[in-house]
């Protein structure tokens, strides 16, 4: 799952703060063709990553 997350997400540092974003869909096709459970799981990981980025920002 970690590898899939890394392959589909990037940390965007262009804005005010670094934010982890989905930049590639995990599977072929459009958004509606994706595995629903998997996208939900990736969303959880993304939220978690962004929370960790926010915490790191606070500590900096």
Partner 1 sequence: MDRWARPRPESITLDGVPRAVEIARLSVGEMANVRLYIRMLSLQEQRLATLADRPVLEQLAIARDERDANEQLGTWISEVVTTSLRPVTPWLALSGVEVVDGQSYCAAYDNDAILAAFWAIYLRNTLTEETRKNSASPRGSADGSPQSESPRRGDAPESPAGDVLPSDSTSAAAVSVTTFPIANPSGTTAAASRPASVLSAV
Distance CA 57, CA 37 (A): 30
Distance CA 19, CA 29 (A): 25
Given candidates 16, 17, 28, 57, which one binds partner 1 under the rule CB under 8 A? Answer: 28
- Is residue 44 involved in binding partner 1 (CB under 8 A)? yes
Given candidates 18, 19, 22, 34, which one binds partner 1 under the rule CB under 8 A? Answer: 34
Distance CA 19, CA 4 (A): 18
Tell me which residues touch partner 1 (CB under 8 A): 1-5, 7-8, 24, 26-29, 31-41, 44-45, 48-49, 51-52, 55, 58-59
């Amino acid at each position: 799952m970690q590898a899939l997350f890394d392959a589909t997400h990037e940390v965007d540092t262009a804005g005010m703060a670094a934010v982890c974003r989905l930049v590639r869909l995990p599977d072929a096709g459009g958004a509606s063709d994706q595995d629903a459970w998997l996208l939900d799981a990736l969303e959880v990981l993304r939220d978690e990553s962004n929370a960790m980025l926010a915490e790191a920002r606070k500590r900096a």
